Structures are given as C-alpha cells and as structure tokens.
C-alpha cells in the first residue's frame, strides 16, 4: 500500500518568514495530493490540493509543488502570520477513494 512520510514534525518560524513542509510518497500511481490544516479542537480543513498532471499550484500565500519523478510534494507558506499556527497534514490518494495521510507538522508562527 501507499506510504506517506512528512517532515518536519514541528516547525517554528518568525512572523513574516516562509514555512516549508515536505512529504514523500511511495506509490507512483498516486494522483491526488491534498493538504489539510487542523486548528486546535477542530477537524482538518482542506487548504490546497494538487493533481498529478500539474507541477505547481498557488493560492495567495500558499503554494504546493509536486515532483512526480522523485515522488515528493511540498507546501509553501509565505509571509506567515500567527493565524497560520496549526497542524498541517499532507495526503496522497491512489484509488481516488482512499487517502493515506502523513503524520502531521505542528507549525508555530512567533509574533
């Protein structure tokens, strides 16, 4: 089955700096890669996703890049703000119905 690894497990950045979270996956058949943000006491919320037919996608301060050859994808947050502090999860979908999640990155943005 698919195996998704996520790094780092914790990340602290100064407000205004950039944050990068990286994930690798094992199954080359994976074709959909969402990123979720989970705030304290809440369920994960989709923040951005990318499909295997594109290499990069951007939405305001958030971007995701995908390298299919190396089987890794990354989340980039620029100009970080305190409200970006949360746990971020990556995921990979092989069949389109079943998802495999990374173990999460706890991001702290220091004012």
Partner 1 sequence: DVKVTQSSRYLVKRTGEKVFLECVQDMDHENMFWYRQDPGLGLRLIYFSYDVKMKEKGDIPEGYSVSREKKERFSLILESASTNQTSMYLCASSLLQKLKLGASTDTQYFGPGTRLTVL
Which residue spans within the chain are E strands per DSSP?
A: 4-7, 10-14, 19-25, 32-38, 45-51, 56-59, 62-67, 72-77, 86-93, 99-101, 105-110
Q: Could you say which of 22, 49, 68, 71 contacts partner 1 (CB under 8 A)?
A: 49
**Minimum distance of partner 1 from residue 97's CB (angstroms):** 6
**Minimum distance of partner 1 from residue 87's CB (angstroms):** 10
**Minimum distance of partner 1 from residue 15's CB (angstroms):** 26
How far is it, in rounded angstroms, from Cα 42 to Cα 32?
24
Judged by CB under 8 A, the stretch of 14-22, 54-62, 75-83, 88-96 that binds partner 1 is: 88-96
**Residue for token digits 């205004």?**
16
Angstrom CA distances, 106 to 11, 69, 102, stand at: 6, 27, 12
- Compare residues 2 and 78 and give the one whose CB is closer to partner 1: 2
Positions that interact with partner 1 (CB under 8 A): 6, 9, 31-32, 34, 36, 41-46, 49, 51, 53, 89, 93, 96-99, 101-104
């Amino acid at each position: 089955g698919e195996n998704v690894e996520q790094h780092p497990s914790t990340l602290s950045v100064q407000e205004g700096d950039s944050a990068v979270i990286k994930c690798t996956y094992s199954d080359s058949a994976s074709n959909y890669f969402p990123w979720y943000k989970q705030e304290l006491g809440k369920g994960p919320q989709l923040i951005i996703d990318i499909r295997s037919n594109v290499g990069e996608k951007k939405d305001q301060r958030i971007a995701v890049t995908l390298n299919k050859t190396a089987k890794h994808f990354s989340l980039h947050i620029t100009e970080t703000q305190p409200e970006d502090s949360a746990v971020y999860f990556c995921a990979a979908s092989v069949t389109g119905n079943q998802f495999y999640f990374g173990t999460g990155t706890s991001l702290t943005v220091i004012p």
